[in-house]
Structure 1
Amino acid sequence: MIHYINLRVIAHSTEDLSRVRKALDYFLLNSAGASEDSNTDDAVEMLNVEGYYGNPITILSAQITRKSDSKAIANFIRQKMHPDDVQRLRSEMPDRLDDDQVFHIRLDKQAAFQEIVKLTSSSDAITVKVKIATYPKNRQKAGLIVEELFG
């Protein structure tokens, strides 16, 4: 069903890194088996890079490969989403599923910090890539799986 889920967010030099991390952890801590005192340090990779104008940027990313955790995160996103966002996601599903069977979602980083799941089209977002596994590779089957997960 889900091969993996990749979450990625950028912390600009003007942002508080701990707040951006809290927004990412909102999703990671709601995976299967996570508890209030769980630590996501092992799951999150931090990469410090330099922006075009020399500004420091930190890229935070996590890849969830356990099937139970992947399904829990997908279910969490779907359950916490506003009905209008669910409808928008439903109508955009064919465009969000690429040829490699990766389903793309952008979630509002500021809303996630406030523990709200909200779709956004902004580039300053938490990007979620859900790799759908079908054997053999079949876009139509992948679409049905995405619909089942997020529809």
Structure 2
Amino acid sequence: MIHHITMRVIAHATEDVSRVREALDFFLSGAGVKDGNNLIEELEAEGHHGNPITILSVQLKKKAECLKFARFVRGNFSEEDAGMLRKEMPERLDDDTVFHLRFDKQAAYLQQVKLTNSSDAIIAKVKIETYPKNREKAGVIVEELFG
């Protein structure tokens, strides 16, 4: 199943950090996390061009929360996003059995689950657990969870 899920999002200087936090919290509440604000780590950093940014990140380790996250995401996809995800699943699963997703940050703020290819996104990395590590077995698990 899922070993853990890591989510990360950048709040640029032109964005309200509390709104970006709300967008991230939308996924946490969907995963059944009671108080996501206590889990979210906040890091002040400098962007590529010297601009101030805030990096918000969180890791879900509880099996129940990870499973609820997968069900929440799959249950809230549009048919278009679900089809795109099924088509791109092999490319989204790396050799370390990590499944990569990017969610539209503005859509999440509006309480919607929408995939995006933008770099300005909520990035989710879903570590799939197989023993021994096996990409093909992980692919089957990903299809069961998100397909």
Shorter-chain TM-score tier = over 0.9
Report the Cα offset of residue 41 of structure 1. Answer: 2.3
TM-score normalized by the length of structure 2:
0.97
- Residue 65 of structure 2: aligned partner: 69
Aligned residues: 147
| CA distance in structure 2 between the aligned counterparts of 1:52 and 1:97, rounded to whole angstroms | 28
* Cα distance, 1:51 vs structure 2: 1.3
Match of 1:92 among 88, 100, 105: 88
Q: Is 1:104 equivalent to 2:105 in the alignment? A: no
Gaps of 5+ in 2: none
4+ residue stretches of structure 1 with deviation over 2 A? none
What residue identity is the alignment partner of 1:72?
A: K
**Percent of pairs with identical residues:** 59
Task: Give 1 or 2: higher helix fraction.
Answer: 2
TM-score by length of 1: 0.95
- Deviation at residue 30 of structure 1 after TM alignment: 1.7
- Between the aligned partners of 2:36 and 2:123, the Cα distance in structure 1 is 18
2:110, 2:31 → 1: CA distance? 18
* d(CA) in 2 for partners of 1:89, 1:13: 31
